[in-house]
Amino acid sequence: MRRTLLLGILLLVITAPATIWVLELSNFPGTLDETQLGFDGEYIRACFSTMTGRDLSYFVLANLVDYLFMVSYAAVLTSAALLLTRRLRVSRLRGMGLAVSLAGALAALSDAAENVFIISMASDPLSFPGWLAIPHSLFAHLKFNLMYVAAGWIGLTALLGLVTWIQGRTTSLALVEEKVTVI
């Protein structure tokens, strides 16, 4: 699992800037709030109308490169959540953590579905059916919420691990002090 985490981090360092770079080459004028989260086919169509054929090609390429980014963040979120969950001492939390650990992978699957819709809209940029923006945005919302769940779990379990570690060190120091006082 540690290798998966390290490989995911390495891939993330490569794919995140690559995806952003190719998207910037596309000159896509839309914002995250209005495109991915906006449920608005007219807005997306208006964004596409300002783009050249070359820009649209870069836009599709960026969304294809994004699939590699999805694999990387799924690997990081899922493996980090699993590694931290395995360290928990409370079995009920461990069971919940195993389920929550899937959120990172499910976020990437939602992202993949979202991209299917945006790529299909880009393939007919000026006359795609406006309803395609609805599932596109639904999958985007689902993706972000699942990412927040996974990242929140990682933060919570890391904090619990830190508290447990500090308590263990404090207990160890108290035992050492007790032994020194007895002698």
- 111-114-115-119 Cα dihedral, nearest 10 degrees: 180
Residue pLDDT, tens place only, 35-47 = 999 999 999 999 9
Please list, in sequence order, all residues whose beta carbon lies within 8 angstroms of the beta carbon of residue 70, skipping any fewer than 6 positions away.
108, 111, 112
Answer for the pair 82, 90: CB distance below 8 angstroms, yes or no. no
Give residue 72's domain range: 2-182
Place of tokens 């390429």: 61
Residue pLDDT, tens place only, 108-152 = 999 999 999 999 999 999 999 999 999 999 999 999 999 999 999
Answer for the pair 77, 104: CB distance below 8 angstroms, yes or no. yes
Answer for the pair 91, 109: CB distance below 8 angstroms, yes or no. no
Burial class (CB in 10 A: 0-12, 13-18, 19+), 18: middle
Residue pLDDT, tens place only, 64-84 = 999 999 999 999 999 999 999
Q: Count structural domains, the chain.
A: 1
